[in-house]
A and B are shown apart, each in its own frame.
Chain A
Amino acid sequence: MRDVFYRKGFFLFSQAALPRLLDSVGSSPHPPSLIVTGATASLRGGAYLSSFAHACAAKRATAQSIAREFGPKGVHVAHVIIDGVIDIPRTKEYDVNGGVEGGKIDSDAVSTTINAVMIEDTVKDYLMRC
């Protein structure tokens, strides 16, 4: 059973991580990074997914706000939307995109992308444009 004192995970995690990431600005090899994973529901609420969708949307909005606050201070905040079903043994039976080859996402490709997002160094340029 959920405890009545439960609070919001992303909020708590970010409040704990951000001061430590700020402390690494200037000394870490790449901009210190807070990376958040989202889902298709971060932007699009699918049928039967209202519980998941509103939570995903809130997480994305929070991440965007944090990015604008901490980007100028040197911390790279990114929200990565995993827009599909990841290809793993347990999703093998799922009929995704008509079962065509490449219809599911390779988890290694996602982690490679996340790694690339972490080491990219164009945070300030991006923030100036949006």
Chain B
Amino acid sequence: MMRGLPWVMALLWLPVSVYAQTKTPVPRASDGKPDLTGVWQGGSTQKGTWEEANTGIGLGGSGANPAGASVRSSSDRPAGSEGAPYQPWAAKKVLESFNNRGIDDPTARCLPPGIPRVVMLGLFPQQIIQTPRQIVMLYEYMNTFRVIPINAKHPDDLLPSFMGNSVGHWEGDTLVVDVTGFNDKTWLAGAGTFHSDALHMTERFTRVDQDQINYEATMEDPNVFTKPWTVRSTLMLREGTRIEESVCAENNLAPERYEQLLKDNANFRR
């Protein structure tokens, strides 16, 4: 029995040590909750600094490796997600916008991108600042932000907004954010993915290790969907990166050019 014990212990230890090499501990806040504080890049699975993680074809980073893989845009539906379950009339409208996306995209007119689009965007970083009573999320893209009180109720006098009204609570190690109070002027995730002001969203942020938050957004909108739609992404820690100012209206030439392109019957799908 005693002779066998070291073997048993060794066998038990083996997977633990392998696990320990690949997993880093989840940083904890003073209240014991996972600490989401940091600067993050959405839509990426690469570890490292911004420069290290963005050596691909150039989008969002240093572009140090021109032979790197090509990238998809925020007009695309999220990788690996199911098709959005739009009602037939609404699916038709999505396709129309998809085919005319240069014109129809609200961000082309510098309107705020809304969520979950801005959360999953990879070209611009986002910063999370966590305290026990509220969590603040700052997005470089279009200078947008969310203040998320913990264990609070939505106000009863909400004005419709691009970013919605968020309240959060913890379910174990997952931050669950309930968002309502949206206007109908943003795209959710992919070209043309419009919604109504009845949109209700449930987001789940789970920091799985030092480097990564798993993100999930479930969208309910009985006016346009037949059932809830869930999209997923990962946020990767980008130590040393700072968020910059991004005032889109400063020099937006797009609308003027689009007018001209429309006159020329431009194909916005090409």
Q: Is chain B a partner of chain A in the same complex?
A: no
